[in-house]
Amino acid sequence: MITGSPDQVVHTLEDFRKSGLEHLALSFRDVRLFKDETPDLLLKQMRLFAREIMPAFRT
């Protein structure tokens, strides 16, 4: 599980990439909070990832 601020997540993923990671499977569900999740919350998390994290890895 990778959590943290966008900068922390970018740093963690960059470390994985430097170690040889080429593919990543994502899930925006927090199993600890599964009962409280709503489609709106999941969409918000996906948009944050797309806006704040994905640009760091575009080549």
Q: Per residue of the chain (59 residues), what is the pLDDT tens digit?
A: 888 999 999 999 999 999 999 999 988 876 556 666 677 888 888 999 999 999 999 87
Q: What is the pLDDT of residue 28?
A: 81
pLDDT of 31 reads 58
At residue 8, the pLDDT reads 96
Q: Are 16 and 2 in contact (CB under 8 A)?
A: no
pLDDT score recorded for residue 1: 83
Helix and strand totals (H; E) in the chain: 2, 0
Rg (CA), the chain: 12
